[in-house]
Chains A and B, each alone.
Chain A
């Protein structure tokens, strides 16, 4: 079994276990404000790290390429309060344009 299948099955199994365990524990267990706070911080940390890694790295190497233009356009779209699909499509279109001009 390759890494991709392990990832699909492992991610799915743990995702469900987390959801189901939430439905099964008493509410007061997790009412602590620090736990609530950590719960809001973890997605911010991980998603920001993923944005950067997906834009500036390729196979463990740092790289600045057409993707940076795409990300910049996405930031502008978000600043202009564009809806999610517009953000993603405008990033893809600008990045693709630069890539095709260079190749």
Chain B
């Protein structure tokens, strides 16, 4: 690899640190929802996709089955696949390197990489790897800290962790609401999920909203 572009390094590091720090919220949320510290850390190491991780702990914490948790998390993980489609022709890696690249293909590594494209193709690749590894390291360290912290707390409600989880989801969805139809979809799905909770098995009201999104996307 040639010399690292300093602006690229700065972008990658600042994203890695700030995003990685959210790992505290994930680790705490996972333990608050009944996952062990080991399970919380494995989710961050192996799943390594914030929204999917929050989703699976949220669904199981609400009494949903493993299957509905996995389904919700996986529907959220589809976008990483699309990022892979975008990044593959730019990274041009094979074999083991492709496996590593796939694991660190997330919102942030793709976002920073595409942001470097105006600098040079080399800066773009550096942005991808630096941000991917940077977020990976900090996200996992902070997950461990959050999980251990929550474990030491006892009654999580007294510390507000039961409200931290929906607030974290809200923080993840907020920047995605760009148009009025996005906001309408968000409110509609929120109302639907709550209204269906007493009727449908746990976890299912959430998964069904993904199909509402698909139906709307196909119609337009």
A and B: bona fide binding partners = yes
A residues contacting B by CB (< 8 A) are 3-8, 10-12, 14-16, 18-25, 27, 29-30, 34-62, 66-67, 69-71, 73-75, 78, 83-85, 87-97, 99-100, 103
CB distance from B156 to the nearest CB of A (A): 9
B154 on interface, CB distance cutoff 8 Å: no
Interface of A is mostly: helix
Residues of B within 8 A of A75 (CB): 170
Bound-complex Cα distance A66 to B186 (A): 22
Q: Sorted from nearest, which 7 A-B pairs have the closest CB atoms?
A: A22-B84, A70-B163, A92-B160, A95-B163, A96-B160, A91-B167, A38-B217
Q: Offer 10 A-B interface pairs, CB within 8 angstroms, sorted by A.
A: A15-B48, A20-B98, A29-B85, A43-B176, A46-B72, A49-B190, A51-B190, A56-B194, A59-B202, A91-B167
Given contacts A46-B209, A50-B58, A53-B193, contact A70 B42 (CB under 8 A): no
CB distance from A77 to the nearest CB of B (A): 8
CB distance from A47 to the nearest CB of B (A): 4
Are A11 and B69 in contact, with the CB atoms below 8 A? Answer: yes
Are A61 and B198 in contact, with the CB atoms below 8 A? Answer: yes
Known: A50-B59, A84-B22. 7 other contacts (CB 8 A): A8-B43, A38-B214, A41-B217, A42-B79, A58-B62, A60-B63, A74-B171
Are A8 and B42 in contact, with the CB atoms below 8 A? Answer: yes
Residues of A within 8 A of B77 (CB): 14-15, 18-19
Given contacts A53-B62, A61-B198, contact A87 B161 (CB under 8 A): no
Interface of B is mostly: helix
Are B214 and A42 in contact, with the CB atoms below 8 A? Answer: yes
Are B171 and A78 in contact, with the CB atoms below 8 A? Answer: yes
Bound-complex Cα distance A41 to B210 (A): 8
CB distance from B64 to the nearest CB of A (A): 9
B121 on interface, CB distance cutoff 8 Å: no
Given contacts A45-B189, A70-B160, A94-B160, contact A20 B212 (CB under 8 A): no
Bound-complex Cα distance A78 to B80 (A): 25
Task: Choose, from B8-16, B86-94, B111-119, the stretch at the interface.
Answer: B86-94
Bound-complex Cα distance A6 to B128 (A): 31
Are B82 and A22 in contact, with the CB atoms below 8 A? Answer: yes
Bound-complex Cα distance A57 to B193 (A): 10
B99 on interface, CB distance cutoff 8 Å: yes
Given contacts A18-B80, A23-B88, contact A51 B217 (CB under 8 A): no
CB distance from B27 to the nearest CB of A (A): 12
Bound-complex Cα distance A103 to B157 (A): 11
Chain A: CB-nearest residue to B83: A22
CB distance from A52 to the nearest CB of B (A): 4
B148 on interface, CB distance cutoff 8 Å: no
Chain A: CB-nearest residue to B199: A60
